[in-house]
Structure 1
Amino acid sequence: MSTTRSTRSPRPAIVVALVTAALALIGVGTALAATPAAQAFREQPLVPGTPCTITASACVDLDTKQSWLFENGKITHGPVPVAIGGPGKETPVGHSLRVYRKEELHKSGEYTMSNGEPAPMPWSVFFQDGGIAFHEGRTDTPSAGCVRLSRENAITWYNNLEIGDQVQVVSAQAVHAARA
């Protein structure tokens, strides 16, 4: 029995990843124009000083790498600095994401520390499929798609966000262009 070893170059995967990333960035603007949820987003007033609407409980601006908490359309915390996903692992954009799980001492199922232990994600508030969450971590380096906050801010986001709360992750530039 003979086996054939694939000699296929990994380049197509890289090209697909780059095209996907580019489309995601383009989609920041087009997503605001294409869906009924996007239409509803455009019709809602923005919370003053932010790129998110009064329906949100949490807001992330990918352009300035800042986040806010809102209650009844008013800022209760923020803006605070955050780390967002880097190239190839961008933080997903969305204006009608929802908190679906909270876990105070979550450990990553995907990433490990240098000692092989699962990477800690304390104070996790999950809002997007694929394990995307607000959680404690460094805010000076890109994440793998999550929104990392300082310890103090991660605890505040954990204590203030509830299951079902709306999270908006947007580009302020795209929001303002779509509303111009």
Structure 2
Amino acid sequence: MAEIDSRTARRTRRRRALAVTAAGLFLGLGAAGTALAVPDTTTVPGTPCSEAAQACVDLASDQAWIIENGAVTYGPVDISHGGQGTETPTGDFAVYDKDADHYSAEFDGAPMPWSVFFAPGGIAFHEGDRNSTSAGCVKLRSHDATVFFGKLDQNARVEVR
């Protein structure tokens, strides 16, 4: 019974992501979670992201931050991200779903605890082994993943550089 509930929850999340994608394309906003207009170009000191970001990822330095009211409130924290052929997408996104106990439907039920989904294709922040690349997700230490999960709500702006 729990397996059926889990599958139903995964299907619901996928449908939501598809609906967000369709709505964004219809409105001319781009793909699910993607914001085309940058409301503020002032960069937060110590990060490559704007003051409008609530989460910032720097793929070149393998670091991420939480930003509140234009200032870093958490981080930098060490991350791992997508590898060759499964790169983490860059751009401006919005959180569209969260799941504290998520399992990957694409990768044989691999655990993805504290998932915060922000980019098309199920790309998320989540707890994971930072010594290996992901299939596009941003992997965090356990404690860092719980902080990102707690701080980022629906529609929170995520900037990946």
Question: So what's the TM-score if we normalise by structure 2?
Answer: 0.76
Q: Deviations over 1:67-110 (max 9, x none)?
A: 00000000010000000100000001112x00000000000001
Is 1:93 aligned with 2:93?
A: no
Is 1:106 aligned with 2:102?
A: yes
Q: Distance in 1 between matches of 2:119 and 2:154?
A: 12
Q: Distance in 1 between matches of 2:95 and 2:132?
A: 24
Letter in structure 2 aligned against 1:169: V
Letter in structure 2 aligned against 1:78: G
Map 1:14-25; keep pairs closer than 5 Å: none
**Post-superposition offset of 1:141:** 1.2
**Post-superposition offset of 1:121:** 0.3
Letter in structure 2 aligned against 1:52: C
RMSD value over aligned CA atoms? 1.4
**Post-superposition offset of 1:119:** 0.5
Q: Distance in 2 between matches of 1:102 and 1:120?
A: 14
Q: Distance in 1 between matches of 2:53 and 2:116?
A: 15
Map 1:10-159; keep pairs closer than 5 Å: 37=36, 40=38, 44-95=41-92, 97-112=93-108, 118-159=109-150
Question: So what's the TM-score if we normalise by structure 1?
Answer: 0.68
Q: Distance in 2 between matches of 1:129 and 1:119?
A: 19
Give the secondary structure class of the aligned counterpart of 1:138.
Answer: coil
Instruction: Report the number of matched residues.
Output: 127
- Please identify which structure carries the higher helix content: 1
Q: Where does structure 1 lack aligned partners over 5 or more consecutive residues?
A: 1-35, 113-117, 171-180
**Post-superposition offset of 1:37:** 3.2
Q: Where does structure 2 lack aligned partners over 5 or more consecutive residues?
A: 1-34
Q: Distance in 2 between matches of 1:141 and 1:105?
A: 21
Letter in structure 2 aligned against 1:164: N
Q: Distance in 1 between matches of 2:79 and 2:99?
A: 19
Segments ≥4 residues shifted beyond 6 Å:
none
